[in-house]
Structures are given as structure tokens and as C-alpha cells.
Amino acid sequence: MENTKQVQRQRYTEAFDFLLDGDHELVVYGVLKKLHITKTNPYYDDIVQEGRIAFINKYLQALNAGKPEKEILPFIYQGVKWALLDYLRKQLTTVEHVQVPEDNVDPLAELIDPLHTVENIDTGVLIRRLGTVCTKQQMQYMILAFEWGLTITEIANQLNVTRPTVYQLRKAVIKKIGKLF
């Protein structure tokens, strides 16, 4: 086990040395340029470090895959690019989903109580009034159409009637609504 850790440590050292050797680190900066990430970005240093880590990981993958020497740098470039795109996507997702409430605002007070909205109260009053003048089948139509949002065909299947019958039910309910107002 200790021998495995030494080999692994040695491979990482080799990968890090390859990164620092010559102008190989320019691969990371080339990817940053391609992605339009400049030094004005407040997270520039963090992104550079992520790029370096991705470089080292891709170098190790290239060695494990037995890539020829001339294919290693293009392989690393592509890997760094995808790794940084993933990193940026995760950062963007985190920033978009984090919302810090102000100290003096109760976040629970902003939640809408669906039972006490004007729209639901008006709908409830209308349905109770229609319940006194509509048949059972017309009420079933209203529930399926307005509360469940089913299509004409779905309503016909639920009520075991034809589509023209559903259209007649709808027409009758509309007439009764007109008479109420």
C-alpha cells in the first residue's frame, strides 16, 4: 500500500513538472483566452488553479491511455477546456440559486397562501353557485376541465361519453355561468 502511494505521488510530481516545463503552462492560459476569461474576472486566480489541476489530471490520463507524445498537448488542451467549462457552469449554478434574504425581511411572509388568494376565493364562490344550478355531470366536467386541466378527449374518456357530449356539457356550463351574471 505504501508503495502504491509512492508511485502515485511520483506520477503527480512528474505531471506537475511537465506542467512547469517549458511553455506547457501556456495551455491553461490559452484555454482561458479561448473562454474569454481575463484578469479582470474576480475569480481569475481560482480559475487558473482549476486549469492547472485539470492539466495535471489530463496529463496522467494521457499517460495511462498510452497517448503518443505528439497527441498529449492537444488532449490536455481539450480536457482543460471541458474541465473549466464544467467548473464555470457549476459556479454559475451556485451563484444563480443562492439568494441571501435581507435581515429585516421574513422569508416565510413572502409565500403565497393559495387558499386565501382573491383568485381562489372568487373561483370557489363561482363553483358553489354553479353547484346549485348544474347537473352532476356538468360539475364533473368543470372539475376535470378547470381543476385537472384535462383535454376534451381526456374528459370524454374519464366520463365514458363521446367528445360531442363533452362539448354539449361545456356549452351548458357556459350558458349557466352567463345566467348567473
User: To 5 degrees, how large is the angle CA 54–CA 44–CA 98?
Assistant: 90
Measure the CA–CA gap between 167 and 171, rounded to whole angstroms: 6
pLDDT for res 112:
53
DSSP state of 115: G
The answer to the question of residue 103 being in a domain is: no
Q: Per the domain annotation, does 66 fall within a domain?
A: yes
Joined grid coordinates for residue 85: 467549462
CA distances from 127 to 58, 124, 166, 171 (A): 65, 5, 18, 16
**What pLDDT sits at residue 64?**
85
What's the domain range around 19?
A: 8-97
- 104 is a domain residue: no
- Sequence-distant (6+) residues with CB within 8 A of 170 are 141, 145
User: Do 153 and 161 meet the contact criterion of CB atoms below 8 Å apart?
Assistant: no
Band (164; pLDDT cuts 50, 70, 90): very high
- pLDDT-derived band at 27 (thresholds 50, 70, 90) equals confident
> Is residue 105 a part of any domain in this protein?
no
Same domain, yes or no: 123 and 165? yes
Of 42, 72, 97, which one is at a domain's C-terminal end? 97
Does some domain include residue 167? Answer: yes
Share of the chain above pLDDT 70, in %: 81
* Rounded-to-integer distance, Cα 23 and Cα 181, Å: 81
132/20 Cα distance (integer angstroms): 83
Number of domains in the chain: 2
Residues 54, 122, single domain; the answer is no
Same domain? For 29 and 84 the reply is: yes
Please state the rounded mean pLDDT for residues 138-163.
86
The rounded mean pLDDT for the chain is 80
In a domain, 14, yes or no: yes
* pLDDT tens, residue by residue, 51-94: 888 888 888 888 888 888 888 888 888 888 998 888 888 877 76
Same domain for 63 and 27? yes
pLDDT band for 181, please (50, 70, 90 cuts): low
Q: Which residue has the cell 384535462?
A: 150
What CATH code is carried by the domain that includes residue 157? 1.10.10.10
pLDDT beyond 80 at 180: no
Same-domain check for residues 78 and 119 = no
